[in-house]
Structure 1
């Protein structure tokens, strides 16, 4: 028996992934507000898809923490709390700092940094425009590229949820905190990776994440419940 996917199965999997991206973007941008009820039939009609790939996408979004099942309400958009934000920063300290260390070690062992350099240039261009959406996306893509360079499949899977949550919280602040300073920190972080210095790169990564914690919490304190 063949273990390969049929064309139909591959199509369904690809469609489900696209639905995940569409719904996640609607949640991140606030088009689907926290607490909003997600009705399968309405979403299927709106997206022009059948309910099977939609259900698969919603299961993935629930796994990633974007939606949750509520008694008597069905599926709803997750209502974030300050505790969730604190937990995200704590997880980033584990996942991203370790990924940075691995990435720098791989560079020391001869891995190419061309894609990371391209991501860094894109991040600098986004900051120069001052566009919130562009900065949020390029920031997340830069951190994702560091994880990609680390070449650890489990870290990559874990980062998908972390990165999505990070985009979401970034948008919820409705502002860009210290973009020039954060960009300079990214430059220093990438320089340490380019140099193949795992300890220094990890230290910069840790500091970079912690510097973003307080400004984010301060902005969201008046918006989100404690827990």
Structure 2
């Protein structure tokens, strides 16, 4: 019984990671319909672990179930982009302040490691985009505020997805700005670190919104959409 549960969990995790990566890296675009029958055949799994994986993706805001259309990759509208940037401006600037104020005790090694890795892949846009997303996650983690980190955690997938959707904004520029933020944090200059963090967010807000108008689809009425949910197995 334990082995069966372990295998089922492993299948669910494999399907989840595969679909999550495809969505975040925009191999399947917003609005793309995810047909269970086809995915189950392609991934060589039954629909049970597939549906469990879809529920996890739904909880992260990456897929949505729409009556009459089935499960689709969530839309990412200009309104969604504005909301995410507003949250980032609050959470990330606060995290920057907390990290800088606690610089003597904060664990900066993960941030330093992300920046070092980014130096080695300036010619690999996808990899660099992932590392830039890692920088933002590690910045919040380094704040030492567990509540702040828990508030940001559900948004991490959508933030990473947004970075990939807007990859043409040049991730190298983003990386250079991260280095400036980290330098201010390291020397304990809280006002400058916060200023740079907010400037970093604002620099990409309007360009990202301009891109969002190109790759967003018609916004789905949340009253008509339901998150992917458990249904009885058919196989």
* Structure 1, unpaired ranges of 5+: 1-5
Q: Which residue of 2 aligns with 1:90?
A: 86
Q: Equivalents in 2 of 1:193, 1:23: separation in Å? A: 36
* Pairing 1:174-189 to 2, within 5 Å after superposition: 175-177=168-170, 179-189=171-181
Given that residues 169 and 207 in structure 2 are in contact (C-alpha distance below 8 angstroms), is that contact kept between their aligned partners in structure 1?
no
Report the Cα offset of residue 210 of structure 1.
0.8
Q: Which moved more, 1:192-201 or 1:92-101?
A: 192-201
Q: Which residue of 2 aligns with 1:126?
A: 121
- Do residues 191 (structure 1) and 186 (structure 2) align? no
Report the Cα offset of residue 52 of structure 1.
3.2
Given that residues 106 and 149 in structure 1 are in contact (C-alpha distance below 8 angstroms), is that contact kept between their aligned partners in structure 2?
no
Q: Which residue of 2 aligns with 1:159?
A: 152
Given that residues 106 and 143 in structure 2 are in contact (C-alpha distance below 8 angstroms), is that contact kept between their aligned partners in structure 1?
no
* Structure 2, unpaired ranges of 5+: 220-235
Going from structure 1 to structure 2, the CA distance change for 1:38 and 1:157 (only over 3 Å counts) comes to: farther
Given that residues 130 and 160 in structure 2 are in contact (C-alpha distance below 8 angstroms), is that contact kept between their aligned partners in structure 1?
yes
Q: Which residue of 2 aligns with 1:148?
A: 141
TM-score under structure 2 length normalisation: 0.79
Report the Cα offset of residue 157 of structure 1.
4.1
- Do residues 114 (structure 1) and 109 (structure 2) align? yes
Match of 1:223 among 211, 215, 218: 215
Going from structure 1 to structure 2, the CA distance change for 1:58 and 1:198 (only over 3 Å counts) comes to: farther
Q: Which residue of 2 aligns with 1:24?
A: 20
Given that residues 97 and 193 in structure 2 are in contact (C-alpha distance below 8 angstroms), is that contact kept between their aligned partners in structure 1?
yes
Q: After the TM superposition, list the runs of 4 or more consecutive aligned residues in structure 1 that deviate by more than 6 angstroms.
A: none
Going from structure 1 to structure 2, the CA distance change for 1:14 and 1:90 (only over 3 Å counts) comes to: farther
* Larger RCO, structures 1/2 (Cα 8 Å, 6+ apart): 2
